[in-house]
């Protein structure tokens, strides 16, 4: 069993780790073949230790996409990549160029997600 002091330290570490997670919106525009562009928001949530996280978005069709992203700060053409799977069988691949490549999306950047079934999301955040 842990002593009260040890439990307090473990609780403080857990709270600190959770507070370190960044999350937020990445507003964008969805362009589908033959349709008017529509607003869409990609949400990100970084992992506890950074370097990766989760992306989610809901398309106007009702399909929800979720997947992991990975930071690649030394890549010349993109600093963050992700692959998302849809709850109706779709998929999309995302690439982002970050303002501060080693930090993650919370400092801003630009990106795009190509939908395998056709379509493109562009975002500036």
Share of the chain above pLDDT 70, in %: 84
Render pLDDT for 63-104 as a digit per residue (tens, 0 to 9): 999 999 999 989 989 999 999 999 999 999 999 999 998 888
Q: Name all domains of the chain by residue range, CATH numbers in brackets.
A: 21-124 (2.40.128.120)
- Rounded-to-integer distance, Cα 112 and Cα 123, Å: 6
Residues 6 or more apart whose Cβ sits within 8 Å of residue 90: 63, 65, 115, 116, 117
Give the separation between CA 122 and CA 120, rounded to whole angstroms.
6
Q: Identify the pLDDT of residue 104.
A: 87
Q: CA 24 → CA 33, 42, 45, 56, distances in Å?
A: 28, 9, 7, 11
Q: Using a cut of 0.85, tell me whether the model's pTM lies above it.
A: no
Which of helix, strand or coil describes residue 80? strand
Which residues lie below 8 Å from residue 124, measured CB to CB, with a gap of 6+? 27, 28, 109, 110
Confidence of residue 119 (pLDDT cuts 50, 70, 90): very high
What would the pLDDT profile of 40-68 be if each residue is shown by its tens digit? 999 999 998 889 999 999 999 999 999 99
pLDDT digits (tens, 9 = 90+) for 13-46: 343 444 458 999 999 999 999 999 999 999 999 9
């Amino acid at each position: 069993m842990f002593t009260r002091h040890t439990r307090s330290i473990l609780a403080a570490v857990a709270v600190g780790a959770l507070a370190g997670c960044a999350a937020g919106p990445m507003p964008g525009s969805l362009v589908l073949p033959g349709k008017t562009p529509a607003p869409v928001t990609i949400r990100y949530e970084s992992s506890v230790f950074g370097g990766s996280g989760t992306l989610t978005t809901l398309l106007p069709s009702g399909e929800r996409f979720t997947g992991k992203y990975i930071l690649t700060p030394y890549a010349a053409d993109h600093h963050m990549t992700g692959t998302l799977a849809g709850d109706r069988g779709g998929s999309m691949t995302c690439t982002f160029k970050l303002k501060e490549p080693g930090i993650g999306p919370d400092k801003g950047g630009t990106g795009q997600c190509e939908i395998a079934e056709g379509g493109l999301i562009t975002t500036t955040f």
